[in-house]
Structure 1
Amino acid sequence: MAALAIAGTFATAANAQDYTFRMAIISSENSVYYEDMAKPFADLVDQLTDGRVKIEILPAGTVGSVLKLHEAVQDGLIDMAQTTPIFLGTADVVNAMIASFPTGLGVDSYLPWLYSAGGLELWQEHRREKMGMHALVSALGPSEFFAHANVPIRNGDDLQGKKFRTLGNWAAIVQENYGAVPTVVAGSEIYGMLEKGGIDMAEYSIPSENQKIGFQEVAKYIIYPGIQAPAWAFETVMLSETWDELPDDIKAKMELAAEINTHRSLRVMTVRDLDTMEELSKGGNEFVRLDDAFMADAMEKSRAWALRNAEEAKAKGDDLPMRVATSIFEFQDHWRKNAGYLVLDTPK
């Protein structure tokens, strides 16, 4: 099987390499997706398995479109991919909710939901039943900026008619409810389009990654908080049969590597983003905070979008989207109602 390149299975050396996987990622080596997510995960797998599992990372451009890495795994072109469910689109609403959802679980509540309230189990159930794959959640990113914009944005009225580089569920929600004009372009095209006025605003990634690309150079306004991506997870996927054929001890160590990397990636990116915010605050950009009333309205409309799509799926005999939506929204409400005792350093 292509997914299992077995070398030295019968070797007696403690560090014998048993399995080699080729894992494609969505970006180049000079990005947060490689430096904080893919490379540390591969290193952890190597370390925890005592060298029995090696992961070869294939940067963007190696295997077709970065938007279709799930398909590349299914077609046997690669063994694994570390990518985001958002790239799968909104036809299956689970993919539009499970890793990140507008106004959904934030950096404080996402990990408890994922690991202790059934989130990971729902994620893996979907991958196996719907796509014939096994998923390891292997990275978590902090909140993104809402947008880099050429005009100040504070509420839904300000979005009317704006050409907004966004994608996935948020594109559908802002178009349907706020009259924005979603414009889907590759990340590499955003800088030029902002500079030339081809788009009015763009959301892409976390503060440090956006700063590295230089969006602050071509758009005066930085809009926050990033309610379209309060927290966002990446998965490492492989075919179900690839996973099932692995020894139990290897599975356990890869699961541990994924969980450790998920926690570490969030911490590392958050600390870097804090430094970035300090730098940007001394620059020539103007920070604009979204209105509280708009954020509350966006939550109502985002949930309505998800529940409508989940109801449509349920009417066709698929109850998994509704179970995912219910799990996320009930846990978020539970968190907001009962987490007031927690001491948080973030200002109101």
Structure 2
Amino acid sequence: MDRRSIIKQAGIAGVLAAGAAPAVHAQAAVRWRLASSFPKSLDTIYGAAEVFAKKVKELSGGKFEISVHAGGELMPPLGVVDGVQQGSVEMCHTVPYYYFGKNEAFAIGAAIPFGMNSRQMTAWMMHGNGRKLMNEFYAKYNIVSFAGGNTGAQMGGWFRKEIKTPADIKGLKFRVGGFAGRVIERMGGVPQNIPGGEIYQALEKGTIDAAEWVGPYDDQKLGFNKVAPYYYYPGWWEGGPEVDFFINNKAFDTLSPENKAIIEAASAYAHVDMQAKYDALNPTALKQLVGAKTKVVSFPKEVLQASFDASMAIYAELEAKNPDWKKIYSDYRTFQKDQILWFRFAEARFDSFMQTAKL
């Protein structure tokens, strides 16, 4: 060995001995399971979890992998929050309002009747107090939340008979997601909380009289037009429902800073991708449903007003008895009022003109 090689090796050894060598961080492989509330057939809402998992794997160079499991594979579709809370799975993909039975405040994290649209909801979550307030609340259930998609304003659902007045709601057995059931109940209806994959059979057999899900693309895939002729709009209970990734807080805390950043980035990507997909696919599906003789009908103003009045009465009652609701709802409504003012001058006026313009 020549002299230069000896000096060179001695120099490296000296550097290492002095602790001055650059640190090399070998990221340990992470394997998680995600339980979805949705069936695989819905490539939009279920698919957002797959989009998320794929992006996590890409951003981590394959070191962080999340397997996605459809509703019913690991646990019941509406049992996923219990699974995350108890640590049975690291995370789930679901709609927070499904769990209003635990506490009504869950609903505010997704959508409440006559609430914000999707852009307003994202603004509240990202640049208002939304995510902070909701995560403070979710901490009681060992959960950390991240945005997992939005459907945009939804349709009002499929009905066997016409809805002409508020009286037509009385006795109606209506599959309606989350907190909206409280309003339907106040109006004399009979709400049913049924997972997406079970709605068709219930509607076909007459177990229910009406059902809402999301919008034209998903509803067509689920075949609701074959078992109910009237397709109502708008879904006043879901102006912009956020779907969320719920992560067990202990599992999240064990992640490296890099993997936490990857979760945040991948969830933001999946969040935007879901609504873009719905906006791209719904128009064609609606035209096809109309072509198949579906009767697309708007809720009469009288019905909307009665629904609004019932909603506001329920909110007032909750403010008086549920501290979690009062804290979050107060901030939510203050933010929404400013959003409505802004949208009135820009988005709403522009949209109303474009809907009558001939392109």
Normalising by structure 2, report the TM-score.
0.85
What displacement does 1:96 show? 2.0
Please list, as runs of the form range in 1=range in 2, the aligned pairs for 1:198-277 lying within 5 A after superposition: 198-277=207-286
Distance 1:72 1:103 in 2: 30
Identity of aligned residues (%): 22
Asked if 1:66 is matched to 2:95, the reply is no
- Residue 34 to residue 295, structure 1, CA distance change in 2 (3 Å): closer
Distance 2:242 2:198 in 1: 24
Aligned partner letter, 1:331: F
Distance 1:256 1:327 in 2: 26
Distance 1:247 1:154 in 2: 56
The correspondence for 1:21, drawn from 32, 38, 42, is 32
More helix by share: 2
Partner of 2:296, secondary structure, is: strand
Asked if 1:116 is matched to 2:127, the reply is yes
Asked if 1:279 is matched to 2:300, the reply is no
Please list, as runs of the form range in 1=range in 2, the aligned pairs for 1:333-348 lying within 5 A after superposition: 333-343=337-347, 344-345=350-351, 347=355
Aligned partner letter, 2:105: V
Partner of 2:103, secondary structure, is: coil
What displacement does 1:225 show? 0.7
**What's the counterpart of residue 157 of structure 2?**
147
What displacement does 1:175 show? 1.0
Aligned partner letter, 2:238: A
Distance 1:169 1:182 in 2: 10
Partner of 1:114, secondary structure, is: helix
Distance 1:72 1:91 in 2: 14
Q: Superposition RMSD on alpha carbons, in Å? A: 2.2
Contact 1:22-1:57 within 8 A present in 2 as well: yes
**What's the counterpart of residue 138 of structure 2?**
127
Aligned partner letter, 2:314: W
- Residue 302 to residue 32, structure 1, CA distance change in 2 (3 Å): farther
**What's the counterpart of residue 137 of structure 1?**
147
Partner of 2:243, secondary structure, is: strand
**What's the counterpart of residue 172 of structure 1?**
182
Contact 2:98-2:179 within 8 A present in 1 as well: no
What displacement does 1:68 show? 1.0
Distance 1:44 1:155 in 2: 47
Distance 1:321 1:93 in 2: 7
User: Over residues 127-153 of structure 1, what are the superposed CA-to-partner deviations in whole Å (9 max), with x where a residue is unaligned?
Assistant: 11x112211122112222211011112
Aligned residue pairs total 329
- Residue 296 to residue 106, structure 1, CA distance change in 2 (3 Å): farther
Normalising by structure 1, report the TM-score.
0.87
**What's the counterpart of residue 42 of structure 1?**
53
Contact 2:38-2:70 within 8 A present in 1 as well: yes
Aligned partner letter, 1:79: E
Aligned partner letter, 2:32: F
Distance 1:257 1:303 in 2: 36
Contact 1:93-1:306 within 8 A present in 2 as well: no
What displacement does 1:17 show? 6.0
- Residue 307 to residue 253, structure 1, CA distance change in 2 (3 Å): farther
**What's the counterpart of residue 328 of structure 1?**
332
Distance 1:338 1:248 in 2: 37
User: Over residues 235-284 of structure 1, what are the superposed CA-to-partner deviations in whole Å (9 max), with x where a residue is unaligned?
Assistant: 21222121122122221221121112211211111211122112122221
Contact 2:176-2:212 within 8 A present in 1 as well: yes
What displacement does 1:32 show? 3.3
What displacement does 1:35 show? 5.1
Distance 1:66 1:158 in 2: 31
What displacement does 1:81 show? 1.0
Distance 1:151 1:133 in 2: 41
Decide which moves more: 293-302 or 143-152: 293-302
**What's the counterpart of residue 184 of structure 1?**
193
Unaligned ranges ≥5, structure 2 = 1-23
The correspondence for 1:87, drawn from 98, 104, 119, is 98
**What's the counterpart of residue 166 of structure 2?**
156
What displacement does 1:13 show? 10
Distance 1:73 1:201 in 2: 31
User: Over residues 288-310 of structure 1, what are the superposed CA-to-partner deviations in whole Å (9 max), with x where a residue is unaligned?
Assistant: 10123432442332133133223
Distance 2:335 2:169 in 1: 30
What displacement does 1:189 show? 3.5
Decide which moves more: 81-90 or 217-226: 81-90
Aligned partner letter, 2:205: K
- Residue 36 to residue 307, structure 1, CA distance change in 2 (3 Å): farther
Asked if 1:301 is matched to 2:310, the reply is yes
Unaligned ranges ≥5, structure 1 = 1-11, 315-319
Contact 1:36-1:268 within 8 A present in 2 as well: no
